[in-house]
Amino acid sequence: MDNLHHIVVVGGGAGGLELVTSLGRKLGKKGKARITLVDAGLTHVWKPLLHEVASGSLDANSNEVNYRAHARRHHYEFQLGRMNGLNREAKELVIAPFFDEEGIEVVPERRLKYDTLVIAVGSTANDFGTPGAQENCLFLDSLKQARRFHNLMLNAFLRKNHEAMQGGAHALNISIIGAGATGVELAAELRMASRELPVYGMNHLKASDVSITVIEAADRILPALPGRLSAAATKELGRQHVKVLNGQPVSEIRPGLVVLKDGTELPSEMTIWAAGIKAPAFLANLDGLESNRSNQLIVHQTLQTTQDTDIFAFGDCAACPQPNSDRPVAPRAQAAHQQADTLFKTLCNRLEGKDAVPFVYNDYGSLINFSHYTTVGNLMGNLSGRSMYIEGKVARLFYVSLYRMHQVALHGFLRTGVIWFMDKISRAMQPRMKLH
């Protein structure tokens, strides 16, 4: 085992977990390499689903992948812990101590040797230094944060329902800062929650009592996507009675209040920050590796870091150049999926002394899901390069297929089919919302 080439992947997000799964099946199973995944959590949930976990429309317990069980099934090792440093000369990474919920150290600091290191630690929200954001906003960077949001949301609805029963003021104001895909989809999920919860006993609080506002600094929502998609999304949010404020930068967040740049003060009992992302701060000073202002590691088109050919980075935490473009690859789930495929080929080539494979991003379009209401999106034509606008059931089918493709990459077609069948049974037997 010690003589095997050791590939360490840090980060069990969508791209990292897909990569170790492929490497385990190809190399680990045949004893050609030792594969290790390092992650700070015990389970994986596809990050684009976190807003559904937060609203309660998705039960994370039935959609989690346990790293230990998955590692055993797919021939790789799993190390629990957060990367905390790097020694490139010794070719080892530092894993921080692991503490339980009471602050007691369970596992001390460790050092893990590698031959090839892949960093795929994803991203966190970027509040751009906005005063009060860290103290007064909720974030959706992790499963833990999504679950906390869900509990706070249920408590807020329960409190306002009780106030309505007593005949008092009971309006609930929710603000979402940032109108990218996460912010827009979360707004739709929260509107659905406001209409579903009265069915389960909170019938004194009406959906009209819940005000949902999406605040965007740019002149339109979904600013990174085509204008037609933005217009369709704006229209759909209007149908769902979600207020949209475009061209309104936020200057400060106070307890129960959002202050806009023009001085307008908006009451907000729940404020969610969904504007902008950045890579984790520890990447900015990682033993001489080059990074940018967003803490992303700068890589070549081969996904190798500029200062070390034995260290790769991909996904949201990496800035990867593309031919004929002055901008790096956008931090999107489909980019991480494609990079994992390319990196799998490169790492297999490395063991055979072959060259790395340059990464070329293919944009297959974008899909925005409005809970159970509708889905809109655009698909890119492979031959013409032109996009095709889709909506309704067809768009919803494509949206659902993205998650199923991720599951196929992790479990294979047969197990994904079983998971799909069990999901159908679960949805038929369980309430439409998670109520605890």
Better pLDDT: 428 or 291: 291
pLDDT at 341 over 90: yes
> Rounded to an integer, what distance in angstroms lies between the CA atom of residue 104 and that of residue 127?
31
What does the pLDDT read at residue 386? 65
Could you give all domains of the chain from N- to C-terminal order, each with its CATH number?
A: 5-123+279-351 (3.50.50.60), 133-276 (3.50.50.60), 365-429 (no CATH)
Q: Please state the rounded mean pLDDT for residues 145-174.
A: 92
What Cα–Cα distance (Å) separates residue 423 from each residue in 17, 46, 110, 428?
22, 16, 39, 9
What does the pLDDT read at residue 351? 95
List pLDDT tens digits, range 97-122.
Answer: 989 888 899 889 999 999 999 999 99
**Whether 359 contacts 338, CB under 8 Å:** yes
Confidence of residue 425 (pLDDT cuts 50, 70, 90): confident
> Rounded to an integer, what distance in angstroms lies between the CA atom of residue 96 and that of residue 329?
30
What does the pLDDT read at residue 385? 53
Confidence of residue 2 (pLDDT cuts 50, 70, 90): low
pLDDT at 298 over 60: yes
**Order of all β-strands in the sheet with 5-10:** 77-80, 33-39, 5-10, 116-119, 308-313, 304-305
* Distance separating the N- and C-terminal Cα atoms of the chain: 46
- Report percent pLDDT > 70 for the chain: 97
List pLDDT tens digits, range 208-252.
Answer: 999 999 999 999 999 988 889 999 999 999 999 999 999 999 999
Q: Packing angle between helix 227-239 and helix 181-196, nearest 10 degrees?
A: 20
List pLDDT tens digits, range 374-421.
Answer: 888 888 654 445 678 888 888 888 888 888 999 999 999 999 999 888
Q: Please state the rounded mean pLDDT for residues 130-138.
A: 96
Any alpha helices (H) in 97-214, and if so which ranges?
133-136, 143-165, 181-196
196 residue type, one letter: E
> Rounded to an integer, what distance in angstroms lies between the CA atom of residue 241 and that of residue 316?
33
What does the pLDDT read at residue 364? 86
**pTM for the structure as a whole:** 0.92
242 membership: H or E segment, kind and range: strand 242-245
Q: Please state the rounded mean pLDDT for residues 424-436.
A: 75
What does the pLDDT read at residue 271? 97
List pLDDT tens digits, range 169-218.
Answer: 889 999 999 999 999 999 999 999 999 888 788 888 899 999 999 999 99
What does the pLDDT read at residue 395? 85
Average model confidence (pLDDT) across the chain: 92
Radius of gyration of the chain (CA): 22
Better pLDDT: 77 or 436: 77
Residue reference for tokens 């959609």: 63
pLDDT at 297 over 50: yes
What does the pLDDT read at residue 383? 40
